[in-house]
């Protein structure tokens, strides 16, 4: 999975037959420290991620491995909201903490 921050929402009422009504969130890819990289993708959200939250995004066919996305024309799924990341023996991200003081 890749890491990203929930940056916004995308509304799309006219969709292909293969696409259910779903919450489409705009996710900005970011590092394991939560710093944004200026690259975005649209992902289906089934876990109720809120704005600014760090999330894990599954891409490709694996994004279809859920009840709602099975056999659907979707290739990016928010599969989890990150609470904390530790790397190199230190915490690099903690949900709710301000940037930097993870």
Q: Is 78 in the site for other proteins (CB under 8 A)?
A: no
To the nearest 10°, report the CA torsion of 46, 51, 57, 63. Answer: 30
Cα–Cα distance between 38 and 63 in angstroms, integer? 22
Other C-beta atoms lying within 10 Å of the C-beta of residue 51: 11
Taking CB under 8 A as the criterion, the residue among 11, 48, 67, 88 binding other proteins is: 11
Taking CB under 8 A as the criterion, the residue among 74, 78, 79, 82 binding other proteins is: 74
Distance of closest approach, residue 89 Cβ to other proteins, in angstroms: 33
Burial class (CB in 10 A: 0-12, 13-18, 19+), 18: exposed
Q: Is 67 in the site for other proteins (CB under 8 A)?
A: no
Q: List the x/- string, 31-60, binding to other proteins by CB under 8 A.
A: -------x-xxxx-------x--------x
Query: For residue 53, what are the CA distances in angstroms to 41, 74, 92?
Result: 15, 22, 15
Distance of closest approach, residue 29 Cβ to other proteins, in angstroms: 12
Site residues for other proteins per CB under 8 A: 7-19, 24, 26, 38, 40-43, 51, 60-61, 63-64, 71-76
């Amino acid at each position: 999975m890749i890491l990203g921050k929930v940056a916004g929402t995308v509304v799309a009422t006219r969709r292909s037959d293969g696409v259910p009504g779903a919450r489409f969130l705009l996710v900005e890819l970011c590092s394991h420290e939560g710093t944004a990289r200026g690259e975005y993708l649209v992902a289906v959200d089934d876990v109720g991620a809120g704005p600014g939250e760090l999330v894990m995004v599954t891409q490709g066919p694996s994004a279809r491995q859920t009840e709602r996305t099975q056999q659907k024309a979707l290739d990016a799924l928010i599969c989890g909201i990150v609470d904390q990341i530790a790397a190199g023996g230190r915490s690099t991200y903690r949900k709710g903490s301000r940037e930097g003081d993870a």
